[in-house]
Every structure is written in structure tokens, then in C-alpha cells.
Structure 1
Amino acid sequence: MRHDQRDFLGGLLMAFVGFAAAWYAYEHYELGTPNDMGPGFFPFGLGILLGVLGLLIALPAMLRPGEQLRVMWGALARVVGAIVLFALLLKTAGLVLACMAAVILASTADRSIGWRVRLLTAVVIAALSWLVFIVGLGMVLPVWPWSA
């Protein structure tokens, strides 16, 4: 009998990220006390919470049957490639075009999505990114290639 590999590995990944974040906050920031919280208190607490939740997902998954995990390498490469593409394009092409290019590339991982939906999603994500990061948070990022 195989255990539920999807939940097991997902839970372990959550636990690793959570405990790593808590450790980083503990090592690099002042935690303070509940009455006088330091800058590391909140990330430390959230990291511990995420780590515990990850374990609560992973441990029961060892006891339940599941299918063998099948990695779709092509889809994984497209999604990771979209992140790299965004990072490479952000400073030269600007936020809007970098978002659109990344969304279009990542969406090719799902062959059931049509080009009209891909383009519409890319425009909406780019607009939301502009609203959140430029308008809402006031971040100084190039928006277009000519503003870089």
C-alpha cells in the first residue's frame, strides 16, 4: 500500500518553509515579548504555525492510501521558467509587460486553456499588479520599457 504522496510531500514542504522562516526570524530579528512585540515576533509565530500545519498534513498522509505522485516536468519547467522570465524582464520591460509575459508562459502549462483566456488573464493580472504595487503600495518599479 502506498501512502498519499501528494499530501505527504506537500505537508513536508509546508513544514520546511514554515520552520525555516521561523528560524530565520529567530536568528535575524528581535522577537520581543507578547506585550512588547519585536519585528521578528509575527514572522516567527506564522512560521511555527505553518510548520505545524504542514506536519498535521504530512503525518496523517502516511497512514492513508493514495496514488503515486506523477510529476509533469514540462508543466513544471514552464511555471519555473515564467518566474525566471518575470525576474529577467522586470527592469527592462517594466512591470506590465513582465507580468503579461510570465502569465502567458505559465498558462501554457495547462493545455486546456485557450489563447483568449490566456491573454485576458495576463491583462487582468498585469492591471492588478499595477494597482497593488504601484498605486496601492507606492513601490518604485518601472511600469513600461520607457520608464525603466
Structure 2
Amino acid sequence: MIDRDIKNLLGGGLLTLLGLFTAWYAYGHYSLGTFSRMGPGFLPVILGGVLALLGLIVALPAWWRRGEPIRGDWASAGFVIASIVVFALLLKGLGLVIATITAALIALIPDRSLGQGTKLKVALVIAAITYLIFIQGLSMNLPAWPRLG
């Protein structure tokens, strides 16, 4: 069994990879410009480099530090993934509000600390916030409710 701090090692490594990919992609697809006249690729390259550096700052000390093994709640992860799939399948036909309520209820199934009423309230609040942000606030072209007829 690995006795290194695997959580921080993996987390820092993933941050480093994401930062390097971001910087590489921006460098290859956008103009950098100069310091006095920055192009569209300047900020993504800099931020990607900073993210990669921060990832190394997290990952390198973890190599020499002992840590706990990863214990995942795979049932909860499965329900969250299922809720995302159900949301995607229901969005077009039933609209944003019903798809969000259904997805939230599915994601909350493994949580035994909440009663059914509380889970429904949580799902309704999440749906209301989603509606306010995406339909009202951002004016996204999404169906809010099922299309009748």
C-alpha cells in the first residue's frame, strides 16, 4: 500500500497537468502579444503557468509526506453521475425546472441524514436558483417548463 499523501499528490498533479495544458493550448491557438499590448493568449498562458506552479507546490511536499489512503463513497458518486445523465435526458422535454428537481432528488438519494421533505425542499430551492440564474439572469435559451402541444 502507498503510504504517501496520495490525495495531495494526485490533486497537485492534476492541477499541474491542467495548468500546463491550458498554457500549451493558449500558446498554440492565440496570439500572446507583448507586455504593452497583450493578445488574447497572454492571460491564459500566464494563468496556466501559475496554476501549474501551484499544483507543484501542492504535489511535491506530498511526495515525502505520509497520508491516508483514498476512501471514496462510490455509491454517492454513482448517484451524482446518474443525476447528471438524467438531467441531460430530461432537459429538452421537461424543461429546466423539472429536470433540475429530478436530478437533485436523485443526487440526494444516498444521504440518509435528510428526510424526504427536506430533500424535496433542497431540490426546489436548487431549481429556483437555477431558474433565476440561467433563465432570468442570463436569459439563456433553455426551456423552463415542459412544452405543451
Q: Given the two structures, how large is their TM-score scaled by the length of structure 1?
A: 0.82
Output aligned runs, 1:82-93, within 5 Å. 82-93=83-94
Instruction: State whether residues 76 and 109 of structure 1, in contact with CA within 8 Å, keep that contact through their aligned partners in structure 2.
Output: no
> Counterpart in 2 of 1:39?
40
Count how many residue pairs are aligned between Structure 1 and Structure 2: 147
What do residues 70-116 of structure 1 show as CA deviations (whole Å, max 9, x unaligned)?
A: 22322221122222222222222211122222222222243333323
Letter in 2 for 1:78: F
How far residue 51 of structure 1 moved from its aligned partner, in angstroms, is 2.4
> Counterpart in 1 of 2:138?
137
Q: Which runs of 5+ in 1 are unaligned?
A: none
Deviates more, 1:118-127 or 1:32-41: 32-41
Superposition CA RMSD, Å: 2.3
What do residues 45-71 of structure 1 show as CA deviations (whole Å, max 9, x unaligned)?
A: 333332222222122122221111122
> Counterpart in 2 of 1:3?
4
1:18 aligns with 2:37: no
Q: Given the two structures, how large is their TM-score scaled by the length of structure 2?
A: 0.81
Rg larger in 1 or in 2? 2
Deviates more, 1:20-29 or 1:135-144: 20-29
Q: Which runs of 5+ in 2 are unaligned?
A: none
Cα distance change, pair 128–69 in 1 and its aligned pair in 2 (3 A):
same
CA distance in 1, matches of 2:16, 2:53: 6
CA distance in 2, matches of 1:29, 1:95: 35
Output aligned runs, 1:1-148, within 5 Å. 2-146=3-147
CA distance in 2, matches of 1:142, 1:93: 8
CA distance in 2, matches of 1:19, 1:105: 36
How far residue 39 of structure 1 moved from its aligned partner, in angstroms, is 3.2
Instruction: State whether residues 14 and 54 of structure 1, in contact with CA within 8 Å, keep that contact through their aligned partners in structure 2.
Output: yes
